[in-house]
């Protein structure tokens, strides 16, 4: 794995990100602050809805204009802006060291991790970048605004690929290290021999608002090789001799689609969100279009 | 066009080899490539290649088309003909490109041009199927062109043929041509040239003069003609024709046939020059013979040459340096190649002989008187202690101890211990084979107190005294490139200085040690030359390297040019002069049979070259092979695609129907909600 440049994001893109917010779908309790949008109703600046007044409500939130028009008491509800911890779990296993024409999956994942970290810092949230493979690596926890992005970029640049993937062990370790609920963004190719169901269920049971971000290359989706090949698994070292014919390639592609679909279903079933990124698509485009339309970002 | 004419067996062999190669290529599978992937989980359902598959032809029809293409191609190369078999005649044309072909009589074309035109006319009169061999009339010359039916090559070879400076050996060339035609049922042997044979007078009906004395060459030619033209000749004898060119009667030519030098015995820089000239014409000729050395004229003389006569001219001149002596006769005549000749003039060098002895010793006096009589030697007496400071060509010592490694070529006079009542001992034998004692024959020499010489390995005993066995008296020895003569007596204790053998012995010794004197200088006639070796390279006057053959240590080569040849040997380079030889000057008169036209050949049956059609069919077969190969591959791909699970592009099964529809237009970066 080649070391990446600390400058993972370009300035124009960072400027664009100032218009973007990381969405949180779950009602998470956190320190109230002015920046972050959540579905929690409470004191805030952003009007969200009306509801009928009931005893015990704060009379300061009554809409007197509505009372004058309708003769009924309505309470104005605002969206509470809270400090929600954003945890970015970055897969650095050996299988991430593949990609298309110089843009490896890991580099792509690093860029996305940097993007999410910047978004969190932009809204004064605390963010943690947690690399993992078969177990959790030493994380980086930063807060305090956009000026703190540089340590994140440096930290990401120091990371390299190695080891096999063990999602369950890594998530389990994450749970013990980060007990408070927050947004958990899991960036990985999810090529775990043990499967990722238990890990996702554990995230759900802990009450995290999680996002599964699957990254793969175009070659992994549509292998272009032909003829007889001795394939070696980058993580396990196992070998298999196969004949790459149109027939076998079609079978491969079908298996890959099934895997992605299963992962998506798993995320949705457990109340999380899912996104799939192909490394031959520019990460800026993926962030600004795909993640926005998928309500990961707003 | 002349293709490789292959026999049926060769066709089968070549085709089998090519077909085997094609089969191997069809069966060949590339070794599986090694590739690292991020995961094997999606390949798990793909059937692994667990065993090497049995090799089988996947495109058998394409392979058959391929080997058909190869067969047709090989057959086309074999150049088969459609029609009854017909073998053309074998024709050997002996083209006389010897020195006489350089003749250019006034008002006539050069003879070489006449020969070219005659050979081309002859070639045009031959059917296209006849195989033609082009030979030169010079002895040992390689063929101009081997047997071929390619008329363009033959015409080109005839037009490009050049004259040599060698005398012709017509009988030998004709024998060579007849041997080349030996295997042919119908052969034709044609001589094209001036028809001049060696000196001596040609006997028999074919000569223009009456026989008096017949040369070997003329005899051989007559025998050859008798064999070929006898009425009861066998069918294997070729038809022999002669096409004589040029008007011999009008040719007036004078030439130098020999040029040699001999050094004066008393005056080393004085040379006697012998020039031999010949008038080949029918008229008396007055010529001027001029000499020059290195381009500097040294004299000339007028000579009157009788018709058909040889003349010798002897001259003397003084020249103390080396160089090239050239003789030239004027005015120019029909053949200018033999109007000049040259010879290499050897360099003269005085040999320095140092006699290490006391100036008043009788030994030194005896030696100096002998050595000073030799004009090639400069002798001086030096005290023995000066030996380390001098570097003479030859050193002479008396009574000293013989060193194991002498510094110079040297002569050592050793003697035994003097005895009061010693009696003279007679010298009874001389080694006549050795260059030192080659001229010494006397038996009247007796010596006193001879030294007991020990003969070592490699020594040559040059003289021995009476006794049983005879005792060695003079030894010749070679050590580390130095030559030593060991004389086992004091000349003063013998009657040797009074004999004529003494100066001969000393002169022979100096010459053996230094090789300083070349008495004669001669030149070689163009043609076959043998030289003592070793030789690494021979460079002709034109600058081209001349090919040569080794005969043991000696070399043999054919000098086709005249002038100075450079002989490069390991460590040194010498030059030799090659001059025109004495020319054959007797014109053969062809018989009626030899002057006749070419015997008629039965009209060859009409045949049809098949190679064009075979090449066309091969092209069709090649196209068919490609078409079959790619169509078979395409069918295979289609079959594999249709056998793929589902048979359709993979669908995203977990999507709802409306989502599936939508997914076709969606960005590949799917986002779930």
Residues of A in contact with B34 (CB under 8 A): 229-230, 232
User: Average pLDDT in the A270-291 region?
Assistant: 91
In chain A, the residue whose alpha carbon lies closest to the alpha carbon of B637 is: A246
- pLDDT of B5 reads 64
From the list B37, B47, B643, the residue facing A231 with the nearest CB is B37
Give the CA dihedral B325, B329, B331, B333, nearest 10 degrees.
-110
Phi, psi of B664 (to 5 degrees): -65, -25
Q: Determine the residue among A213, A215, A240, A298 to mutate to test chain B binding: the one whose Cβ has the most chain B Cβ atoms within 10 Å.
A: A240
Do residues B99 and B338 touch, judged by C-beta distance below 8 A? yes
- Would you call B656 an interface residue with chain A, using a CB distance cutoff of 8 Å? no
- pLDDT of B601 reads 66
Whether residue B610 is predicted with pLDDT greater than 60 in this model: the reply is yes
Would you give the distance in Å from CA A31 to the centre of its chain?
A: 22
Residues of A in contact with B36 (CB under 8 A): 231-232, 234
First-last CA distance in chain B: 80
- pLDDT range class, residue B667, cuts 50, 70, 90: very low
Percent of chain B with pLDDT over 90: 14
Q: Whose CA is closest to A174, among A142, A202, A154?
A: A202
From the list A225, A246, A274, the residue facing B644 with the nearest CB is A246
User: Average pLDDT in the A219-247 region?
Assistant: 86
Give whichever of A210-219, B179-188, B470-479 has the largest mean pLDDT.
A210-219
Please write the tens of the pLDDT for every residue from B255-310: 998 888 888 877 778 888 899 999 988 888 899 999 998 888 988 889 898 988 88
- Name the region of A155 (left: φ>0; alpha: ψ -120 to 50; beta: rest): alpha
Please count the CA atoms within 13 angstroms of the CA of B508 that sit on its side-chain side: 19
- pLDDT of B651 reads 36
Do residues A43 and A78 touch, judged by C-beta distance below 8 A? yes
The whole-angstrom separation of Cα B509 and Cα B504 is 8
The 10 Å Cβ neighbour count of residue B419 is: 9
The whole-angstrom separation of Cα B577 and Cα B313 is 20
Q: How far is CA B589 from each of CA B15, B138, B517, rounded to the nearest angstrom?
A: 55, 20, 50
Residues of A in contact with B37 (CB under 8 A): 98, 220, 231-234
Which tokens sit at B198?
A: 């060696």
The 10 Å Cβ neighbour count of residue B405 is: 7
- pLDDT range class, residue A244, cuts 50, 70, 90: confident
Burial, B320: exposed, middle or buried (Cβ in 10 Å; 0-12, 13-18, 19+)?
Answer: exposed
More confident residue, B235 or B508: B508
The whole-angstrom separation of Cα B366 and Cα B386 is 21
- pLDDT of B517 reads 65
The 10 Å Cβ neighbour count of residue B444 is: 11
User: Average pLDDT in the A261-287 region?
Assistant: 92
Percent of chain B with pLDDT over 70: 85
More confident residue, A150 or B227: A150
CA distance B52 to chain A (A): 11
Do residues B223 and B244 touch, judged by C-beta distance below 8 A? no
Q: How far is CA A125 from each of CA A78, A81, A82, A121, A156, rounded to the nearest angstrom?
A: 20, 11, 8, 5, 19
Burial, B532: exposed, middle or buried (Cβ in 10 Å; 0-12, 13-18, 19+)?
Answer: exposed
Which tokens sit at B236?
A: 């294997």
The whole-angstrom separation of Cα A134 and Cα A33 is 36
The whole-angstrom separation of Cα A100 and Cα A96 is 12
Whether residue B645 is predicted with pLDDT greater than 50 in this model: the reply is no
- pLDDT range class, residue B2, cuts 50, 70, 90: very low
- pLDDT range class, residue A169, cuts 50, 70, 90: very high
The whole-angstrom separation of Cα B70 and Cα A60 is 101
Whether residue B568 is predicted with pLDDT greater than 60 in this model: the reply is yes
Q: Whose CA is closest to B236, among B152, B179, B313?
A: B179
**Inter-chain contact A293–B671, Cβ cutoff 8 Å?**
yes
User: Average pLDDT in the B531-539 region?
Assistant: 85
In chain A, the residue whose alpha carbon lies closest to the alpha carbon of B35 is: A231
The whole-angstrom separation of Cα B633 and Cα B631 is 5
Please name the residues in contact with B558: beta carbons below 8 A apart, sequence gap of 6 or more.
Answer: B138, B140, B141, B166, B527, B528, B529, B546
**Inter-chain contact A233–B47, Cβ cutoff 8 Å?**
no
Beta bridge partners of B566: B539, B575
The whole-angstrom separation of Cα B372 and Cα B158 is 64
Please write the tens of the pLDDT for every residue from A6-29: 557 888 888 888 888 888 776 655
The 10 Å Cβ neighbour count of residue B569 is: 16
Whether residue B199 is predicted with pLDDT greater than 80 in this model: the reply is no
**The three-state (H, E, C) secondary structure of B478-498, written as one string:** EECCEEEEEECCCHHHECHHH
Phi, psi of B115 (to 5 degrees): -65, -45
The whole-angstrom separation of Cα B379 and Cα B363 is 14
Average pLDDT value for chain B: 81
**Inter-chain contact B38–A191, Cβ cutoff 8 Å?**
yes
| Cβ-count burial B257-291 (b if 16+ within 10 Å, e if not) | bbbebbbeeeebebbebebbbbbbbeeebebebbb
**Inter-chain contact B38–A230, Cβ cutoff 8 Å?**
no
Q: Determine the residue among A189, A264, A278 to mutate to test chain B binding: the one whose Cβ has the most chain B Cβ atoms within 10 Å.
A: A264
Do residues A156 and A110 touch, judged by C-beta distance below 8 A? yes
- pLDDT of B207 reads 41
Whether residue B508 is predicted with pLDDT greater than 80 in this model: the reply is yes
**Inter-chain contact A235–B47, Cβ cutoff 8 Å?**
no
- pLDDT of A2 reads 40
The whole-angstrom separation of Cα B392 and Cα B390 is 6
User: Average pLDDT in the B397-421 region?
Assistant: 80
Q: Whose CA is closest to B586, among B202, B97, B94, B95?
A: B202
Q: Determine the residue among B36, B643, B670, B672 to mutate to test chain A binding: the one whose Cβ has the most chain A Cβ atoms within 10 Å.
A: B672
Q: Which long-range contacts (CB under 8 A, 24 or more apart) does B323-326 make?
A: B323/B293, B323/B294, B324/B293, B324/B294, B324/B564, B324/B577, B325/B259, B325/B261, B325/B273, B325/B291, B325/B292, B325/B293, B325/B521, B326/B291, B326/B292, B326/B293, B326/B295
From the list A191, A247, A267, the residue facing B41 with the nearest CB is A191
Residues 185-214 of A with CB under 8 A from B: 189, 191, 193
- pLDDT range class, residue B361, cuts 50, 70, 90: confident
Residues 235-254 of A with CB under 8 A from B: 235-236, 238, 240-243, 245-248, 250-254
**Inter-chain contact A254–B35, Cβ cutoff 8 Å?**
no
Percent of chain A with pLDDT over 70: 89
Please name the residues in contact with A81: beta carbons below 8 A apart, sequence gap of 6 or more.
Answer: A32, A33, A34, A35, A36, A37, A38, A44, A45, A46
CA distance B11 to chain A (A): 37
The whole-angstrom separation of Cα A192 and Cα A289 is 28
Quickly list DSSP for B518-548.
--EE--EESEEEEE-S--SEEE-TTSPBPPE
Residues of A in contact with B673 (CB under 8 A): 268, 273, 294-295
The whole-angstrom separation of Cα B43 and Cα A243 is 10
Please write the tens of the pLDDT for every residue from A46-96: 677 888 888 888 888 888 998 889 888 998 887 665 678 899 999 999 999
User: Is the pTM higher than 0.95?
Assistant: no
Which tokens sit at A114?
A: 């940097």
- pLDDT of B653 reads 35
**Inter-chain contact A193–B41, Cβ cutoff 8 Å?**
yes
Residues of A in contact with B44 (CB under 8 A): 240, 255
User: Average pLDDT in the B13-29 region?
Assistant: 86
- pLDDT range class, residue B661, cuts 50, 70, 90: very low
Please write the tens of the pLDDT for every residue from B383-396: 877 766 778 889 88
Which DSSP category does B43 fall into? Answer: G
Which tokens sit at A94?
A: 């050996």
**Inter-chain contact A261–B655, Cβ cutoff 8 Å?**
yes
The 10 Å Cβ neighbour count of residue A264 is: 23
User: Which residue shows structure tokens 């004669």?
Assistant: B520
Burial, B653: exposed, middle or buried (Cβ in 10 Å; 0-12, 13-18, 19+)?
Answer: exposed
Please write the tens of the pLDDT for every residue from B24-71: 888 776 677 888 888 888 888 776 665 555 566 777 888 899 999 999
Going by their DSSP bridges, the two strands A31-52 and B409-413 should be labelled as unpaired
From the list B38, B49, B640, the residue facing A241 with the nearest CB is B49
Beta bridge partners of B292: B297, B326
User: Average pLDDT in the B75-82 region?
Assistant: 82
- pLDDT of A210 reads 92
Least confident stretch, A89-93, A294-298, B230-234, B435-439: B230-234
- pLDDT of A260 reads 94
**Inter-chain contact B670–A281, Cβ cutoff 8 Å?**
no
First-last CA distance in chain A: 33
Which tokens sit at A225?
A: 């090789």
Least confident stretch, B8-12, B158-162, B582-586, B643-647: B643-647
Whether residue B162 is predicted with pLDDT greater than 50 in this model: the reply is yes
Do residues A156 and A8 touch, judged by C-beta distance below 8 A? yes
Please write the tens of the pLDDT for every residue from B491-500: 888 888 888 8
- pLDDT range class, residue A1, cuts 50, 70, 90: very low
The whole-angstrom separation of Cα B602 and Cα B608 is 18
- pLDDT of A156 reads 92
- pLDDT range class, residue B93, cuts 50, 70, 90: very high
Residues 44-83 of B with CB under 8 A from A: 44-50
Helix (H, G, I), strand (E, B) or coil at B615: helix
- Would you call B665 an interface residue with chain A, using a CB distance cutoff of 8 Å? no
Which tokens sit at A293?
A: 């339309």
From the list A228, A255, A264, the residue facing B32 with the nearest CB is A228
Going by their DSSP bridges, the two strands B520-521 and B425-430 should be labelled as unpaired
Would you give the distance in Å from CA B381 to the centre of its chain?
A: 51
- pLDDT of B366 reads 79
């Amino acid at each position: 794995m080649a070391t990446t440049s600390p400058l993972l994001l370009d300035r124009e893109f960072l400027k664009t990100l100032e218009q973007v917010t990381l969405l949180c779908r779950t009602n998470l309790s956190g320190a109230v602050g002015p920046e972050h949008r959540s579905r929690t109703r409470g004191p805030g600046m952003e009007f969200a809805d009306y509801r009928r007044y009931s005893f015990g409500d704060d009379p300061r939130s009554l809409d007197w204009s509505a009372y004058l028009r309708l003769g009924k008491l309505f309470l104005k509800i605002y969206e509470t802006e809270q400090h929600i911890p954003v945890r970015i779990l970055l897969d650095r296993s050996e299988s991430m060291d593949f990609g298309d024409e110089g843009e490896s999956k890991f580099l792509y994942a690093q860029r996305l991790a940097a993007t999410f970290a910047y978004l969190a810092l932009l809204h004064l949230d605390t963010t943690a970048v947690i690399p993992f493979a078969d177990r959790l690596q030493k994380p980086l926890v930063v807060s305090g605004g956009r000026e703190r992005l540089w340590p994140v970029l440096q930290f990401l640049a120091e990371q390299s690929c190695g080891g096999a993937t063990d999602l369950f062990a890594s998530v389990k370790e994450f749970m013990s290290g980060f007990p408070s609920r927050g947004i958990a963004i899991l960036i990985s190719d999810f090529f775990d021999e043990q499967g990722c169901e238990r890990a996702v269920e554990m995230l759900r049971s802990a009450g995290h608002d999680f996002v599964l971000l699957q990254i793969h290359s175009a070659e992994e989706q549509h292998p272009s090789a032909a003829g007889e090949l001795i394939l070696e698994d980058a993580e396990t070292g196992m070998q298999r001799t196969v004949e790459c014919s149109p027939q076998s390639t079609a079978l491969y592609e079908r298996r890959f689609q099934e895997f992605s679909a299963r992962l998506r279903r798993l995320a949705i079933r457990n109340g999380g969100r899912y996104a799939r990124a192909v490394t031959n698509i520019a990460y800026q485009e993926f962030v600004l279009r795909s993640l926005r339309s998928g309500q990961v970002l707003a | 066009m002349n293709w490789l004419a292959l026999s049926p067996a060769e066709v089968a062999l070549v085709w089998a080899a090519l077909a085997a190669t094609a089969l191997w290529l069809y069966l060949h599978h590339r070794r599986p490539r090694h590739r690292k992937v991020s995961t094997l989980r999606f390949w798990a359902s793909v059937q692994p290649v667990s065993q090497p598959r049995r090799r089988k032809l996947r495109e058998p029809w394409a392979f058959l088309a391929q080997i058909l293409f190869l067969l047709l191609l090989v057959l086309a190369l074999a150049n088969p003909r459609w029609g009854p078999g017909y073998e053309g005649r074998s024709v050997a044309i002996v083209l006389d490109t010897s020195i006489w072909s350089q003749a250019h009589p006034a008002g006539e074309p050069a003879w070489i041009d006449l020969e070219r035109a005659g050979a081309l006319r002859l070639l045009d009169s031959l059917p296209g199927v006849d195989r033609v061999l082009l030979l030169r009339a010079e002895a040992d010359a390689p063929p101009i062109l081997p047997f071929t039916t390619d008329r363009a090559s033959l015409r080109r070879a005839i037009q490009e043929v050049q004259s040599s400076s060698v005398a012709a050996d017509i009988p030998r060339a004709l024998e060579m041509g007849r041997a080349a035609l030996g295997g042919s049922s119908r052969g034709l042997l044609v001589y094209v040239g001036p028809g001049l044979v060696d000196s001596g007078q040609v006997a028999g009906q074919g000569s223009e003069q009456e026989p008096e004395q017949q040369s070997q060459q003329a005899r051989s030619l007559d025998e050859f003609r008798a064999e070929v033209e006898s009425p009861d000749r066998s069918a294997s004898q070729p038809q022999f024709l002669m096409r004589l060119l040029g008007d011999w009667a009008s040719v007036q030519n004078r030439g130098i046939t020999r040029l040699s030098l001999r050094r004066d015995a008393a005056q080393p820089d004085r040379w006697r020059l012998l020039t031999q000239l010949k008038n080949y014409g029918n008229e008396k000729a007055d010529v001027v013979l001029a000499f020059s050395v290195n381009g500097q004229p040294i004299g000339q003389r007028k000579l009157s040459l009788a018709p058909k006569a040889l003349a010798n001219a002897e001259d003397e001149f003084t020249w103390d340096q080396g160089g090239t002596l050239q003789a030239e006769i004027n005015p120019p005549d029909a053949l200018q190649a033999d109007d000049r000749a040259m010879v290499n003039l050897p360099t003269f060098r005085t040999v320095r002989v140092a006699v290490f002895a006391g100036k008043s010793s009788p030994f030194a006096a005896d030696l100096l008187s002998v050595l000073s009589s030799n004009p090639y030697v400069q002798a001086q007496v030096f005290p023995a202690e000066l030996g380390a400071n001098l570097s003479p060509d030859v050193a002479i010592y008396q009574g000293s101890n013989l060193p194991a490694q002498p510094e110079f070529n040297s002569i050592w006079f050793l003697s035994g211990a003097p005895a009061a009542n010693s009696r003279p001992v007679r010298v009874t034998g001389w080694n006549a084979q050795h260059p030192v004692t080659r001229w010494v024959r006397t038996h009247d020499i007796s010596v006193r107190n001879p030294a007991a010489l020990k003969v070592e390995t490699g020594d040559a005993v040059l003289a021995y005294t009476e006794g049983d066995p005879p005792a060695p008296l003079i030894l010749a020895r070679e050590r580390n490139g130095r030559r030593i003569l060991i004389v086992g007596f004091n000349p003063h204790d013998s009657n040797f200085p009074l004999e004529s053998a003494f100066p001969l012995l000393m002169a022979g010794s100096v010459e053996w040690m230094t090789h300083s004197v070349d008495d004669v200088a001669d030149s070689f006639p163009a043609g076959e030359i043998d030289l003592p070796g070793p030789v690494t390279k021979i460079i002709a006057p034109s600058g081209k390297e001349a090919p040569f053959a080794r005969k043991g240590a000696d070399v043999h080569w054919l000098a086709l040019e005249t002038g100075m040849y450079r002989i490069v040997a390991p460590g040194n380079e010498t030059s030799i002069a090659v001059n025109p030889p004495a020319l054959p000057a007797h014109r053969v008169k062809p018989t009626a049979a030899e002057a006749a036209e070419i015997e008629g050949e039965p009209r060859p049956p009409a045949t049809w070259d098949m190679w064009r059609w075979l090449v066309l069919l091969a092209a069709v077969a090649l196209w068919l092979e490609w078409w079959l190969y790619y169509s078979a591959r395409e069918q295979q791909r289609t079959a594999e695609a249709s056998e793929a699970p589902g048979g359709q592009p993979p669908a995203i099964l977990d999507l709802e129907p409306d989502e599936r529809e939508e997914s076709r237009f969606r960005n590949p970066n799917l986002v779930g909600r």
